[in-house]
Structure 1
């Protein structure tokens, strides 16, 4: 029981176990996004002691962000729902004599104290959730950031190849896409800029940029929002 007399509940899970199967058979995503490198360089390369700057790689996947941040001398935590990929990341870090605290867990219930992190980075994890679940996760992210801490997030736009190729399950959210980079990856959210502003509205100094590139031909566009926000 809580002090108010209500029964404490565990947040409903957001982790989709399809990613265990994906991570078991694929071997991509080992190197960091150029957009993340620019963000970190602009905001943190001049830190007098990089080891004092603590990052969380949210939904780390293969851990490209954690790997890059550790190589740059920052203090790094990484979390993902897939125990399969977390173990792969641990082995990669160990083989290169790098340090990061890697754990498996659902990001809707982050196992860290409040005001722990200077920065949380999300490279396409939150976009694999409905708007409602994304807001729940972001509430936890906001709570774990230090005052003045930053969030960097990459999220798909409706211009992405494969948009609307599967059944719609929530606002701007589709499942079981049949074509594009996200085919076979479960739930994907393709939010408009206004929807992004609403979902991330708790954060101060919210800025939204755009990154686009084509795959095999111009019709196969990868289009992402680059979202930055700050905890007050």
Structure 2
């Protein structure tokens, strides 16, 4: 998908400043002693509401998304609000190994769309490489909800936390389930499984909250 409207039906400018992670982000930042003008990287930034919010608070923000139209809209919205954000089209799963380091790496509901073990390991490695020694990984992600219903063409694998979407024919990453091809679509881990995954990836979980344990603050674990 290369167009923002492949994912969202409209630009959603009406609720731009009331983005879903705002309250959590405010709490997370208020708890941490960040230097003035701290450097922030947001991946999966979409049209940029969190990035613009951070820039308005005095942070130096780099923000990336793999959908070009989202970045075009984000630049326009930032200009409308008079804030400076360095937006770029970039896939977090294909980031170069060497890069600038940040005081904060932010994920505002992107991680659940990074589904396979390989891609998630790549993302975690990219995050660790970009965190300063005392930097924080601030994460908000969808997790397993007992009342969520997965109706066709979706089905949920409780063992892996992967939600699959049925497709017509075989394609890369597709798997056969009950004689039909399915693609990994989302990953909704239980809170304890998400924490274990992060710790296995070399990230220390400092706090985990939210109704379903999907709001976390982490930092890179010290070398052993």
TM-score, reference length from structure 2: 0.76
Aligned CA distance change for structure 1 residues 131 and 173 (closer, same or farther; 3 Å): same
> 5 Å matches for 1:138-149?
138-149=124-135
User: C-alpha distance in 2, partners of 1:43/1:131?
Assistant: 31
Tell me the CA shift for residue 24 of structure 1: 5.8
Tell me the CA shift for residue 110 of structure 1: 2.3
Name 1:226's counterpart in structure 2.
215
User: C-alpha distance in 2, partners of 1:209/1:109?
Assistant: 27
Provide the aligned length of Structure 1 versus Structure 2.
195
Is the 1:114–1:145 Cα contact (8 Å) retained in structure 2? no
User: C-alpha distance in 1, partners of 2:87/2:187?
Assistant: 26
Aligned CA distance change for structure 1 residues 153 and 131 (closer, same or farther; 3 Å): farther
Tell me the CA shift for residue 113 of structure 1: 3.6
- After TM superposition, the structure 1 stretch with the greater mean CA deviation from structure 2, 200-209 or 70-79, is 200-209
The one of 146, 154, 157 equivalent to 2:140 is: 154
> 5 Å matches for 1:53-202?
53-111=38-96, 113-114=98-99, 116-132=101-117, 133-159=119-145, 162-165=148-151, 166-168=154-156, 171-176=160-165, 187-201=185-199, 202=201
Name 2:173's counterpart in structure 1.
none
Tell me the CA shift for residue 96 of structure 1: 1.7
- After TM superposition, the structure 1 stretch with the greater mean CA deviation from structure 2, 197-206 or 132-141, is 197-206
Is the 2:3–2:70 Cα contact (8 Å) retained in structure 1? no
What residue ranges of structure 2 are gaps of 5+ in the alignment? 167-183
Tell me the CA shift for residue 83 of structure 1: 0.5
Name 2:210's counterpart in structure 1.
211
Is the 2:97–2:129 Cα contact (8 Å) retained in structure 1? no
Aligned CA distance change for structure 1 residues 18 and 115 (closer, same or farther; 3 Å): closer
Is the 2:2–2:69 Cα contact (8 Å) retained in structure 1? no
User: C-alpha distance in 1, partners of 2:2/2:148?
Assistant: 21
User: C-alpha distance in 2, partners of 1:137/1:98?
Assistant: 28
Name 1:219's counterpart in structure 2.
none
CA shift digits 1:75-134 (9 cap, x unpaired):
000001111111101011112221011001111122584451111010110111225122
Tell me the CA shift for residue 25 of structure 1: 3.1
Root-mean-square deviation (Å): 2.6
CA shift digits 1:156-204 (9 cap, x unpaired):
2211653533124781011349xxxxxxxx8221101232123211344
Aligned CA distance change for structure 1 residues 105 and 90 (closer, same or farther; 3 Å): same
What residue ranges of structure 1 are gaps of 5+ in the alignment? 1-15, 178-185, 213-222
SS state at 1:108 partner = helix
Tell me the CA shift for residue 30 of structure 1: 2.1
User: C-alpha distance in 1, partners of 2:100/2:206?
Assistant: 22
